[in-house]
Amino acid sequence: MMRARASIFRFGVALGALSGLSACQGGAQPVVPEGDAGYAAIAVPAESATPKRYTLLPGDILSVRVYDEPDLSVEEIAIDNAGVLSLPLIGDVRVTGLTATELARTVEAAYAADYLRDPRVTVLVKKAQVRTIAVEGEVELPGVYPYAEGQTLLTALALGRSPTEKAKMDEVMIFRVVDGERLAGRFDANAIRGGRMPDVPLMPGDTVVVGFSNARGIFLDAIRAIPVIGIFRPYP
């Protein structure tokens, strides 16, 4: 009986420490903006969030044809990781963020400057790079997933097969790169699920990170350790 009481006492002390830890965590100031500030932190202009035309990315494979100039035409060429295309005579052309039509006008201007009179250029996208989002942290199946129009924070969590038991649902971060600048916002997924906050639309290249609840982890570890501690084990 005394051993059982001692085990219960130790478990009570552990839960007391857990409560103290939870209180400390609740008082911590988040580094990443949260709430309305989180939405504002990753906001992008409407025209950037929903582009009307396809813009080129590293990995896209293009066909660049110069009318009446077969030696200058390239049937298949990939944009390199730096977003650059290397073409005959004119060399490197930075293409990331341009549409195929804009790139054609850029190449025409480059050839017209030094090599051709009134060049006409056509650019076709033969194979587009797959757009992706990443889901990381405390989810059952972290990984990189294809991006689809209309994806949101909640659909990203669903792709990751939902959060783990140790997930801290009020610390779900979205990281986004816009015009070379890294943006981040912190969101409460429970509030979004409950309809108290709006869901967050995602963009290609976004990374969703579900935080780890240290307090929840300690609690679950303590619960799982109960049979080992022997709190409920009968004694003669």
Residues, the chain: 236
For 152-210, the pLDDT digits (tens) are: 999 999 999 988 888 888 888 898 877 667 888 888 999 999 988 888 888 888 999 99
Range 2-49+131-229 classified under CATH 3.40.190.80? no
- Contact (Cβ atoms closer than 8 angstroms) between residue 134 and residue 207: yes
For 13-51, the pLDDT digits (tens) are: 444 444 444 444 444 444 566 667 766 766 655 444 444
pLDDT at 122 over 90: yes
Q: Phi then psi for 162, rounded to 5 degrees?
A: 75, 160
Residues 6+ apart with CB under 8 A from 17: 218
Kindly report whether the global pTM for this prediction surpasses the value 0.85. Answer: no
- Contact (Cβ atoms closer than 8 angstroms) between residue 153 and residue 174: yes
Residue spans per domain, the chain: 2-49+131-229, 61-127
Instruction: Look at the block and give the residue holding tokens 């804009």.
Output: 102
- Contact (Cβ atoms closer than 8 angstroms) between residue 126 and residue 100: no
pLDDT at 221 over 50: yes
> How many other CB atoms sit within 10 Å of the CB of residue 108?
18
Residues 6+ apart with CB under 8 A from 191: 170, 197
- Contact (Cβ atoms closer than 8 angstroms) between residue 127 and residue 76: no
| Calpha distance 14→75 (Å, rounded) | 68
Side-chain-side CA neighbours of 186 within 13 Å: the count stands at 11
Task: Identify the residue with better confidence: 41 or 72.
Answer: 72
Walk across the sheet containing 132-137 and list its strands.
143-146, 132-137, 207-212, 167-178, 181-187
- Contact (Cβ atoms closer than 8 angstroms) between residue 56 and residue 124: no
What's the pLDDT at 120? 96
Q: Which two tokens stand for residue 96?
A: 């990331």
Architecture of domain 61-127: 2-Layer Sandwich (3.30)
DSSP letters spanning 35-81: HHHHHHHT---HHHHS-SS----TT-EEEEEETT-TTT-EEEEE--T
Sequence-ordered strand ranges (E) for the chain = 61-66, 74-78, 84-87, 91-94, 121-127, 132-137, 143-146, 167-178, 181-187, 207-212
pLDDT at 106 over 90: yes
